[in-house]
Amino acid sequence: MPRPKGSAGFTLVELMIVVVLLGIFATMAVPSFTAMIERNRLQTQADELKALLLYARGEAVSQKTTITVAADGSDLWGVKRGNTDLRQLKYIPEQAAILASANEVVFRSNGTATAANFTICHNDNTDSGLFLAVQASGAIKLFRQGTQDADNTALGSCTL
């Protein structure tokens, strides 16, 4: 049926086609969006852990004392000077599991530390997992997602 000359707008069929196309695009985008959110959560958790370790090293050097970073329970990492809590990092294990090769990392007044490695993963997915290394020199390195060294060697496992 032809439209009157003054009429402007969409027909119901045109509107339904647009709605169907939007539904198809949304269905294709949701899995990618979910994966992106998971990668961002892991990256954020790794960045927060790195910041906590850098804070501990800085405090050890500036206060000329020994600072300890240790796991306090299943979802908490804490920075301590002796028996005094300085800072804590709380995380949700269901979203990002932080596993360490040592129970604690001790930073000394000269900036050196006990060496330790950390993995930050979700559901043992090594493709999006992150590897963080604390070297004996006190240097803290966070590698790209899915890698465990500067040569981009694939992260072999989410466990240490």
Q: Could you report the per-residue pLDDT of 118-128, keeping only the tens digit for each?
A: 999 998 889 99
Decide if 153 is inside a domain: no
CA–CA dist 14, 18 (Å, integer): 6
Q: Which of 142, 100, 144, 146 is nearest to 126 (CA)?
A: 146
**Contact 102/86 with Cβ under 8 angstroms?**
no
Write the single-letter amino acid at 63: Q
Return the DSSP state at 102: S
Decide if 23 is inside a domain: yes
Task: Tell me the three state secondary structure of residue 123.
Answer: coil
pLDDT digits (tens, 9 = 90+) for 90-99: 988 888 999 9
Task: Tell me the three state secondary structure of residue 68.
Answer: strand
Give the CATH number for residue 94: 3.55.40.10
What domain range includes position 50? 13-142
Decide if 151 is inside a domain: no
Decide if 42 is inside a domain: yes
Please report, rounded to a whole number, the percentage of residues in the chain having pLDDT higher than 90: 73
Decide if 51 is inside a domain: yes
Decide if 18 is inside a domain: yes
Decide if 68 is inside a domain: yes
Q: What is the pLDDT of residue 2?
A: 64
Q: Which of 6, 160, 29, 13 is nearest to 97 (CA)?
A: 160
Decide if 147 is inside a domain: no
Mean pLDDT of 31-54: 93
Mean pLDDT of 48-56: 97
Q: How many domains does the chain have?
A: 1
pTM > 0.85: yes or no: no
Q: Which of 35, 42, 36, 53 is nearest to 120 (CA)?
A: 42
